[in-house]
Amino acid sequence: MRPLGLAGSGERLAVLCIGAHADDIEIGAGATVLGWIERGVRLDVHWAVLSAIGPRAEEARASATGFLAKAARAVIDLATFKDGFFPHQGSDIKIWFEALKRRTSPDVILCHWRDDAHQDHRQVSELTWNTFRDHVILEYEVPKWDGDTGQPNVYFPASRTVMERKTKLLNDHFGSQRSKDWFDREIFMGLARLRGMECRAADGFAEAFHARKLTVQ
């Protein structure tokens, strides 16, 4: 299968990463971001987390700084919406999205999958599409006990080195999550191995996304 690249070595790529919670972007798209940087893409990243309060804000900022250490440019944007209550804060979150649109002009957006079982994730996906109407939007997956990862249709192969770095950064920066049964290196590596098999990735690993609409020239 012939791969389609968004940007090559030395080329600029502006990316908006949106996550409901402090570790969502890293889990769903961390290896993709690290992989772009590893391949020499001049990555201009706006990293937005909607629920980052207290210690979780500290974790979110430190993790984003670690993942984006070698990006050409990085903006870390943290909001304080209440975890688990996004559908009931819809009006305020919509206002926040409209302001976000004025702060960034991305080539590609990475956000939650629209059919994610978590209500906060679905709200973020809906408002991303509602707000950004002329962009490439790729929806990442977050493994959880709901078993809702679905059948993605876009794959970003990742090297083992990148996957190891992703899982290390997650473990290093999210101490508040280490006791949870879904926050586990083997789960993150296992899902990436499955997606790598599905796209026949050279190193056997990949992150997968859902693309609802793409224009190819």
Domain count, the chain: 1
Q: Is the pLDDT of residue 210 over 80?
A: yes
Q: What is the pLDDT of residue 77?
A: 98
Share of the chain above pLDDT 70, in %: 100
Residue 1 within a domain: no
Q: How far apart are CA 33 and CA 36, in angstroms?
A: 5
Q: What is the pLDDT of residue 3?
A: 83
More confident residue, 216 or 125: 125
H helix runs in the chain, sequence order: 24-38, 55-67, 90-103, 119-131, 160-173, 185-199
Residue 90 within a domain: yes
Residue 196 within a domain: yes
Residue 54 within a domain: yes
Could you list the residue range(s) of the whole structural domain that residue 80 is in?
12-210
* CATH code of the domain containing 94: 3.40.50.10320
Q: How far apart are CA 16 and CA 30, in angstroms?
A: 13
Q: How confident is the model at residue 4 (pLDDT cuts 50, 70, 90)?
A: confident
Q: What is the pLDDT of residue 148?
A: 92
Residue 107 within a domain: yes
Classify each residue of 84-108 as buried b or exposed e, where b means 16 or more C-beta atoms within 10 Å of its C-beta.
eebeebeeebeebbeebeeebebeb
Q: Is the pLDDT of residue 1 over 80?
A: no
Q: Is the pLDDT of residue 216 over 90?
A: no
Residue 7 within a domain: no
Q: What is the pLDDT of residue 70?
A: 98
Residue 216 within a domain: no
Residue 202: both structure tokens together = 């050279």
134-191 pLDDT per residue, tens: 999 999 999 999 999 999 999 999 999 999 999 999 999 999 999 999 999 999 999 9
Residue 2 within a domain: no
